[in-house]
Structure 1
Amino acid sequence: MNPANRHILPWLLESQLAPHVDALMLHLLDCRYASNTVDNYLAGLTHFARWISQCNIDVKSIDEALIKKFLDDHLPRCNCEKPVFHDRKDLSAALGHLLVLLRANAVVADPSIGLTPVGEELRRFDDHMNHVRGLAPKTRKHYRAIIRRLLVGQFADQPVVVSAFKPDDIRKFVVCQGKYCKVPASISAPVSALRGYFRYRATLGDCVHHLIGVTSFPANWQQATLPKTLNNDEVERLLAALDYDGKAARRTAAIVHCALDLGLRSSEVAHLGLDDIDWGASTITLRRTKGRREDVMPLPAATGQAIANYLKYERPSTSNRAVFVRNVAPRDQPVGPDLIRKSIRQAYARAGLPYTRSHLLRHTMANRLLASGSSLKEVADVLRHRSLNTTLVYAKLDSKNLAEVAMPWPGSVS
């Protein structure tokens, strides 16, 4: 243990959190956190234990709200007896681990127990979105946040009575959601959430057709813009920039190839598993896609080689079956979509390209297919679009075929 924190542990072992210290340390060691990080987390827990003791707070009362109060209210004005640990980032992480452990051991009640009426309504709506509509977790989370604002604003902590809503209430709510939208077209998300919620209530027998009727989507001109893509020179610069010596160089190269050669979304790259790759058949199976279905795709040689180099020379030793795993604690865990996007942004920067969006590589792959003579149907199949209409926007990038069908401009020399 860090000598500066050595004298803290005895106090922690005499606090209310003492019965849980051993289990927490074992959890942190299993996640392969560095010893210095473990020391900091224990020091942070000691500070928290002192605070709840001074405030006469029972361990069973620990939840997200109490942790937030400690971090937001107590920490900035802390006058606890020295020494105490003040690093907010490590404190937040340590308390997050503590809360998970307490709930796993039934010391703290599950958050779904004792929900407010709005919370219980959101839980049921989430079950409907998940099991009936099959929406992705990220979409469900976004819709829950929108419906929470609607219900809390209307009912606060009172029971939810959908018949109390009037069409004007919904119109005003939609208008207010504009402040959360970066571009006007983004208002479609709140509208989709509202329509989904009211349709859910309709399945329960509520008369909500007059509410669905006022949730109209705003004008959104389909295919009004060209999808941005990398040109051939930029693609070459990006690929050349992948050849460097760095801590995660091979992982970045494999990620970029997955996005550029296969057109995979960030979440699809993050969810790739070792068992999804058939090296003999040179295929890769996508199991957790946006369309919630399995797709088998050919594995290009360059992509396969990039993945193999990462697996052989750089991937940490782990029992996890994900292709891309974390290099830092908590180890033995797959990376998330955010790290995939970050890796691609770093590759752009290394190549000197002024881009940030990972989806740009998916557009580029589609454009390269069209340029090589592939049909829109073939592009749609590779991109795994359910509707060909989704792929039609790429038709505007097919300059060669567009030139063949273009009519002469009036007054021009044909």
Structure 2
Amino acid sequence: MSKILNTFDRLILDASEVLSNKLLRSKNTVKWYRVYWRQMQRQLAKKGIMDFNSQIGQQYLLDSFGMFDYSTLSKCNKDIVKIVNVLCEYYDTGTLVSTKERFAVDGVIGIQMKEFISYLESMRLKPSTTKEREHYLGRFLFYLKGQNIYAMSEVNKVVILDYLKTLNRLKPSVIHMTLRAIRSFLKYLFEQGQLKADTSILVPKDKYIKQARLPSTYNVDEIQRMISAIDRSRPCGKRDYAIVLLACRLGMRASDIGGLKFDSLRWEECLISFNQYKTERLLQLPLLVEVGEAIIDYLKYARPKSSEPYVFLTGRSPIGRLYTSSVTHAVQKAFLASGVNVQHRRYGPHALRHSLASLLLEQNTVMPVITEVLGHENSASTRYYLRIDLASMKQCMLDVSSVPVTFYEQKGGYFYA
């Protein structure tokens, strides 16, 4: 690409075209990039800078955020860094490369990684686990290519440590999962006889402990305000009303609400019976009158005509089942419309699930019952909610014994004369 002939305007137009045609970004996404690029262009023009190159782009970020640590930036500012870096990448290379292209698993090491992933699948690991390993190994392979390393026998402790230095700005969880992926891959190669020595022992161990956040919960009044804010005169409102009731009254996950099928509704027995998407365990919940009437209202007066086996469908063409993101959006939309204060709290379906658990704890429901209602495999998962049972925690407080006056009056004491 001839950098001399490309003006700032031409650069923005060409980068937008690549985003749209090559990376298949949506119109709204491309518009979002273009709007900020134009804003940056105006800000630079005020300083007398009419052209653009990657050095100008990096200086712009430096002027905006100083010597920033990416991990400490807000989401909005991280988006700005990403948008500017995309334009810098296009200026330098004349194209944009998707994450999938950049971290392509190919070559000799790539073949070994694919065999490792197939092995994990044969061991019946969860798809999310195998995708996680493939993702972090792909990033490691990208680094190895940059270091001209094309055989795993060349990977030693120095290579691994140097790679970890590139992850310093990322979250500890990313470093932990990276170490786990590399360690298990090296162990596999040794066990398969593709490495002479077990180099997995060279991968350092970290002390990462996943610290679960306190669940976001809402009280009964807040939930009722949110439910009342749903406009049930519209077809989508009838659907969203039923979705919200399934989440707050029964504690169903978004994935299970979106995947709910007609054969799961056992009207004669007043039951909802389904295999949970997350755990694949059968869960049976009572089909409450309020929930049942909401579902019937949606099916009779709002659901588009379709042969789909799923209960909840999209409101516009092409008609199809709802997925987790759509269910989450429906709940979040209801919360925002209600005016309930959601600051510093999550406000999706899982927050309603947490709220149900909190309500059951307040009613002194025994732990095994809550475990069954939430569909957990064991009570260990349910104990996560004990931290929000403030009423019970207050009962565990110990009285502080009073300090005798003589303690303060002794030599060196506060009231010593």
TM-score range, shorter-chain basis? Answer: 0.5 to 0.7
- Write the distance in 2 (CA, Å) between the matches of 1:119 and 1:147: 9
Match of 1:53 in 2: none
Gaps of 5+ in 1: 1-67, 77-85, 93-110
Q: Deviations over 1:154-203 (max 9, x none)?
A: 2479996433322343344344345454xx44544434444554455465
Corresponding residue to 2:314 among 326, 339, 351: 326
**8 Å contact from structure 1 (residues 283, 299) kept in 2:** yes
Change (3 A) 1:396 1:326: same
Displacement of 1:336: 1.5
Match of 2:262 in 1: 274
Change (3 A) 1:88 1:284: closer
Displacement of 1:87: 11
**Percentage identity across aligned positions?**
24
Change (3 A) 1:293 1:173: farther
**8 Å contact from structure 1 (residues 258, 303) kept in 2:** yes
Corresponding residue to 1:351 among 338, 343, 356: 338
Match of 1:29 in 2: none
Matched, 1:173 2:163: yes
Match of 1:132 in 2: 123
Change (3 A) 1:205 1:246: farther
Displacement of 1:363: 1.0
Corresponding residue to 1:72 among 9, 14, 18: 18
- Write the distance in 1 (CA, Å) between the matches of 2:336 and 2:399: 42
Corresponding residue to 2:371 among 367, 380, 401: 380
Q: Deviations over 1:233-292 (max 9, x none)?
A: 211211211354334101111221222122222222222111122111122223242123
Corresponding residue to 1:218 among 199, 204, 207: 207
Match of 2:247 in 1: 259
TM-score norm. by structure 2 comes to 0.63
Gaps of 5+ in 2: 1-13, 31-100, 404-417
Displacement of 1:206: 5.3
Question: What is the letter of the counterpart of residue 132 of structure 1?
Answer: M
Q: Once structures 1 and 2 are overlaid, which stretch shifts more, 155-164 or 353-362?
A: 155-164
Matched, 1:336 2:336: no
- Write the distance in 1 (CA, Å) between the matches of 2:200 and 2:384: 33
Change (3 A) 1:324 1:377: same
Displacement of 1:349: 0.7
Change (3 A) 1:222 1:263: same
Q: Once structures 1 and 2 are overlaid, which stretch shifts more, 276-285 or 322-331?
A: 322-331
Displacement of 1:317: 0.9
Displacement of 1:319: 1.0
Match of 2:295 in 1: 307
Secondary structure class of the residue paired with 1:390: helix
Matches within 5 A, 1:35-184: 71-72=17-18, 89=27, 116-117=107-108, 120-136=111-127, 138-155=128-145, 161-181=151-171, 184=172
- The count of corresponding residues between Structure 1 and Structure 2 is 310
Match of 2:238 in 1: 250
Displacement of 1:117: 4.3
Change (3 A) 1:372 1:151: same
CA RMSD of aligned residues (A): 3.7
Change (3 A) 1:240 1:389: same
Match of 1:228 in 2: 216
Change (3 A) 1:325 1:396: same
- Write the distance in 2 (CA, Å) between the matches of 1:73 and 1:365: 43
Q: Deviations over 1:334-393 (max 9, x none)?
A: 122111111111111111132544321111111111112212222222222234332222
Matches within 5 A, 1:16-27: none
Matched, 1:404 2:395: yes
**8 Å contact from structure 2 (residues 143, 163) kept in 1:** no
Q: Deviations over 1:84-141 (max 9, x none)?
A: xx99649x9xxxxxxxxxxxxxxxxxx9xx96545544543443344423313x5543
- Write the distance in 1 (CA, Å) between the matches of 2:186 and 2:375: 30
Larger radius of gyration, structure 1 or 2? Answer: 2
Q: Once structures 1 and 2 are overlaid, which stretch shifts more, 194-203 or 352-361?
A: 194-203
Change (3 A) 1:316 1:229: same
- Write the distance in 1 (CA, Å) between the matches of 2:242 and 2:271: 15
Q: Once structures 1 and 2 are overlaid, which stretch shifts more, 240-249 or 269-278?
A: 240-249
**8 Å contact from structure 1 (residues 250, 314) kept in 2:** yes
- Write the distance in 1 (CA, Å) between the matches of 2:338 and 2:331: 11
- Write the distance in 2 (CA, Å) between the matches of 1:389 and 1:364: 18
- Write the distance in 2 (CA, Å) between the matches of 1:295 and 1:200: 36
Q: Deviations over 1:303-355 (max 9, x none)?
A: 22222222222111111101222233332x21221111111111111111325
Question: What is the letter of the counterpart of residue 322 of structure 1?
Answer: Y
- Write the distance in 1 (CA, Å) between the matches of 2:314 and 2:130: 26
- Write the distance in 2 (CA, Å) between the matches of 1:312 and 1:202: 61
- Write the distance in 1 (CA, Å) between the matches of 2:25 and 2:126: 38
Matched, 1:390 2:371: no
**8 Å contact from structure 2 (residues 110, 141) kept in 1:** no
Change (3 A) 1:147 1:401: same
Q: Once structures 1 and 2 are overlaid, which stretch shifts more, 354-363 or 155-164?
A: 155-164
Which structure would you say has the larger RCO, counting Cα contacts within 8 Å and 6 or more residues apart? 1
**8 Å contact from structure 2 (residues 304, 313) kept in 1:** yes
Change (3 A) 1:324 1:168: farther
**8 Å contact from structure 1 (residues 267, 337) kept in 2:** yes
